[in-house]
């Protein structure tokens, strides 16, 4: 198993072993929505995320941490994450 905790986390998120940065980048590039959904669930479970603005701050913090792996997919991850967060403001 990879020694980088970010690779271990991404391996859990993608439900497969990602041993290198290249493995992680390929997984994220192929399915950025998987990561967007996982980050949304993390944000939703966080006691510190109490608004859509706080959710965006949370996302930016996580993307900064995962930057070596997300690269060009940041925009798509943000788009999909924001679509999920937008539902918070919709009436039931």
pLDDT of residue 72: 92
- Biggest CA-to-CA distance, the chain: 44
pLDDT of residue 10: 97
Across all residues in the chain, what is the average pLDDT? 94
73-76 — which CB contacts under 8 Å span 24+ positions? 73/28, 73/29, 73/32, 73/35, 76/32, 76/33, 76/36
Cβ count near 82 (within 10 Å): 15
Q: Give tens-digit pLDDT for 18-61.
A: 999 999 999 999 999 999 999 999 999 999 999 999 999 999 99
> What mean pLDDT do residues 9-25 have?
96
Residues in Cβ contact with 60 at an 8 Å cutoff, skipping those fewer than 6 apart: none
């Amino acid at each position: 198993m990879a020694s980088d905790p970010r690779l271990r986390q991404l391996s859990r998120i993608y439900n497969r072993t990602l041993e290198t940065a290249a493995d992680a980048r390929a997984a994220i590039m192929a399915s950025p929505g998987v990561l967007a959904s996982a980050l949304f669930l993390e944000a939703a479970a966080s006691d510190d995320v109490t608004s859509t603005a706080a959710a965006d701050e949370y996302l930016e913090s996580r993307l900064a941490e995962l930057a070596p792996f997300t690269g060009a997919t940041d925009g798509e991850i943000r788009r999909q994450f924001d679509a999920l967060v937008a539902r918070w403001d919709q009436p039931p």
